[in-house]
Structures are given as C-alpha cells and as structure tokens.
C-alpha cells in the first residue's frame, strides 16, 4: 500500500486544540489534500471535549505516565486527573499506526503538547519548557515508530518529496 505519515490533527487545520483552535501548517495542509497524511488527535480520541482545560504531566514525561509513575492533570485551576483519557488516546493512536503498519513512514507530532510533544513539554508547576515527550509520542516511539517534531520542517519536506 501507499506510504503515509501520521500527523497531529491540529497541524492540518482540525480545530482540536484545547482552546478550540488549530496549529495549521501550510506544508502539511498541502500534503493532506494529496492524501499523504493520516490526521489523528489523541486527546479527542481519548474522549476529552473541545474546548477543554489545558493539561500538563506531573513528573518526568510521557514515558513515566505510561509506566504509571506520573499523572496528567488539568492546570486551569480545576486540577482534574485526565491520565486515563491521555492513555486511551495514546493507545487509540497506536492502534491506527499498527493497522497501517509498514505504510507509516513517520509520525509528525505537534511540539510542546503533553500528548504530542517530541522534544519539549511544559513543566508542571511553572510556565517553562523542559526536555521530554508527550504521552502519545512516547508510546509510538516505544513501539518503534519514527517520530518527527512539527518543528523538523526540513526533514518533513524531504520525506514528503519521497512520498509524492
């Protein structure tokens, strides 16, 4: 079958961000219209509403959440535990990736998100970034999928040229 990229759905214009907006990227929007991308939003797949309160990982990063050693909590003052939604969404995304199997060249995930972040996520107790992956990025990586940050524009361009 045809090779594809899995992408965070907000990168191709779906209004699935916590605040009801998107992170549209023209390079990826164009690839989507050519049928080269499979857009998925782990937080929506995990059953969370849109808009929804923003969330952060309490300790470490997505890998620690997968091990059951950290939680994901909403950080707008509500302090709801949404760990189970984040895990459900990560495993639903993995299910899609595994269905597509070797057709998946890479997963392009939105940087800094507690689900999709690849190199950076937000610290729990302050408004600053630290090194680490979101929950879905960590799960896909642990299962052997190639993960690219939405910031890796040059690499994404190269891969898209090969897919065409």
Under 8 Å between Cβ of 86 and 55: yes
If the CB atoms of residues 102 and 152 are measured against ligand SF4, the closer one turns out to be: 152
What minimum distance in Å lies between the beta carbon of 88 and ligand SF4?
12
Under 8 Å between Cβ of 153 and 27: yes
If the CB atoms of residues 115 and 149 are measured against ligand SF4, the closer one turns out to be: 115
- Cα gap 164→25, rounded to integer Å: 18
If the CB atoms of residues 25 and 41 are measured against ligand SF4, the closer one turns out to be: 41
What minimum distance in Å lies between the beta carbon of 85 and ligand SF4?
10
What minimum distance in Å lies between the beta carbon of 53 and ligand SF4?
13
Q: Which residues bind ligand SF4 (CB under 6 A)?
A: 8-10, 16-17, 41-43, 110, 113, 115-116
* Nearest one of 146, 54, 41 to 102, comparing CA atoms: 146
Q: For the chain, how long is the longest CA-to-CA vector?
A: 47
What minimum distance in Å lies between the beta carbon of 105 and ligand SF4?
18
Q: How far is CA 37 from CA 70, 75, 108, in A?
A: 31, 31, 10
State residue 148 phi and psi, 5-degree precision.
-120, 145
If the CB atoms of residues 41 and 159 are measured against ligand SF4, the closer one turns out to be: 41
């Amino acid at each position: 079958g045809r090779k594809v990229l899995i992408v965070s759905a907000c990168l191709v214009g779906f209004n699935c961000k916590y605040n009801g907006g998107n992170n549209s990227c023209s390079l990826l929007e164009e690839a989507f219209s050519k049928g080269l991308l499979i857009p998925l939003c782990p937080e929506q797949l995990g059953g969370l509403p849109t808009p929804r309160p923003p969330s952060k990982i309490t300790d470490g990063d997505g890998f620690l959440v997968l091990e059951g050693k950290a939680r994901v909590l909403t950080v707008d003052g509500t302090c709801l535990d949404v760990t189970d939604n984040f895990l459900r969404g990560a495993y639903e995304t993995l299910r899609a990736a595994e269905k597509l199997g070797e057709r998946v060249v890479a997963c392009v995930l939105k940087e800094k998100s507690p689900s999709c972040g690849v190199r950076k996520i937000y610290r729990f107790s302050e408004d600053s970034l630290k090194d680490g992956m979101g929950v879905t990025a960590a799960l896909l990586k642990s299962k052997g999928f190639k993960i690219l940050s939405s910031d890796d524009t040059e690499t994404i361009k190269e891969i898209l040229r090969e897919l065409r």
